[in-house]
Amino acid sequence: MTAQIELKNIDKHYGAFHALKKVSLSIEKGSFVALVGPSGCGKSTLLRSIAGLETITSGDLHIAGKAMTGVPPRHRDIAMVFQSYALYPHMTVEENLTYSLRLHGVGKAEAKAKAAEVAATTGLSALLPRYPRQLSGGQRQRVAMGRAIIRNPKAFLFDEPLSNLDAALRVQMRKEIRALHDRLGATSVYVTHDQIEAMTMADWVVVMRDGIIEQQGRPLDLYDHPVNRFVAGFIGSPAMNFLDGTVSEDGGSVVLAGGERIALGKPAEPNRQVIAGLRPEHLRIAQGPADFHVEVGNVESTGSATYLGSRDDRLQVVQTDRSSVAVGDRVGLEIDPALVHLFDPQTGARI
């Protein structure tokens, strides 16, 4: 596989603010990469730097093997879908779609045919003569995508494209974008703050925080082997539980504050202070002897799953079977020792 977009030691300063710190990333041709992180982590800045809408302070950016430093956006052959869609309000859907073609001197008839073709793939055929203001949010979103795919660019950039849609439509558009990506064999970079979007859509997830890449990898690798506490807490929903504890004398378990123990899959350094990371969906209510006990503070049931919260609000449990647990109950919890994550309390790094 060849790298379609190659970033090396990208730095970006806004005055005194260091937005991107030595970011290096290689995006393979045909892959769907998600940049994910909390707001202000630099993911949008990184995307806009790839597009050329922001100038990078230092570092190398190559697209399809060509150095892009100093190349204006219009010569980068990249398409972007904006969060606001940025449709041209004074143009019809058809004119929006053919705008780039017309700029590049494509003939009227050819542009029209191309627009009809793209409209068919994005389900816009009936809407071509309309103006953006006459469209619903989902339709506008499709026009924005159609405008991107019509000129067959070297890469697609998505800047939180689904955040203005309602939940049901978001789930549907998630699938459509991914299907479109597969059909076109395109290279896509997708920015989102929603880790579910990143996990479900992308082949490769890049987790960012404060201008650096915390971890990148396949979605399930990030879920199974987060390199630090931040990634562990960011990936997965509801978020991972973190409990303070000390590794036991024999190294085979973690002793919690209350003296109860959680067994470990692999032995750890004895007597070391640790943070144990337990995913809510990995915790089970013990029928027999339990690893540890909590008092239930709240119970929320969605029908398919039940969310239990502890009284001290430090722990959440997701159960997929109907539970008869009530608020105020003291329940015993157990977890598969192989699924316990340990992190260093100071650095947050995985142990």
* Distance from C-alpha of 27 to C-alpha of 81, rounded to nearest angstrom: 18
What six digits make up the tokens of 113?
């045919």
For 191, phi then psi, to 5°, come to -95, 130
SS3 state at 217? strand
How is 282-326 classified by DSSP, letter by letter? T-EE-SSS-SEEEEEEEEEE-SS-EEEEETTS--EEEESS-----
**Could you tell me the smallest distance in angstroms from the CB atom of residue 101 to another protein?**
9
**Could you tell me the smallest distance in angstroms from the CB atom of residue 47 to another protein?**
12
Binding region for another protein (CB under 8 A) out of 55-63, 70-78, 191-199, 251-259: 70-78
* Distance from C-alpha of 324 to C-alpha of 305, rounded to nearest angstrom: 13
Q: HSE-up of 182 (CA within 13 Å, CB side)?
A: 8
Binding region for another protein (CB under 8 A) out of 88-96, 170-178, 282-290, 322-330: 88-96
147 binds another protein (CB under 8 A): yes
304 binds another protein (CB under 8 A): no
Q: State the CB neighbour count (10 A cutoff) for residue 49.
A: 24
Indicate which single residue of 90, 108, 218, 330 sits in contact with another protein (rule: CB under 8 A).
90
**Could you tell me the smallest distance in angstroms from the CB atom of residue 89 to another protein?**
6
The smaller minimum CB distance to another protein, of residues 147 and 181, is found at 147
Q: HSE-up of 163 (CA within 13 Å, CB side)?
A: 15
314 binds another protein (CB under 8 A): no
Nearest in space to 315 (alpha carbons), one of 248, 244, 229: 244
**Could you tell me the smallest distance in angstroms from the CB atom of residue 125 to another protein?**
22
14 binds another protein (CB under 8 A): no
108 binds another protein (CB under 8 A): no
80 binds another protein (CB under 8 A): yes
99 binds another protein (CB under 8 A): yes
| Total residues at interface with another protein (CB under 8 A) | 24
Amino acid at 305: A
Total residue count of the chain as it appears in this document: 351
Indicate which single residue of 17, 39, 133, 320 sits in contact with another protein (rule: CB under 8 A).
133
**Could you tell me the smallest distance in angstroms from the CB atom of residue 53 to another protein?**
5
130 binds another protein (CB under 8 A): no
131 binds another protein (CB under 8 A): yes
Cα 110 to Cα 120, 141, 208: the distances in Å are 15, 24, 42
For 287, phi then psi, to 5°, come to -85, -40
Indicate which single residue of 8, 66, 74, 266 sits in contact with another protein (rule: CB under 8 A).
74
The smaller minimum CB distance to another protein, of residues 78 and 275, is found at 78
Indicate which single residue of 13, 30, 82, 281 sits in contact with another protein (rule: CB under 8 A).
82
Nearest in space to 245 (alpha carbons), one of 226, 220, 264, 223: 264
The smaller minimum CB distance to another protein, of residues 99 and 307, is found at 99
Chain positions contacting another protein, by CB under 8 A: 51, 53, 72-74, 76, 78-80, 82, 84, 86-90, 99-100, 103-104, 131, 133, 147, 151
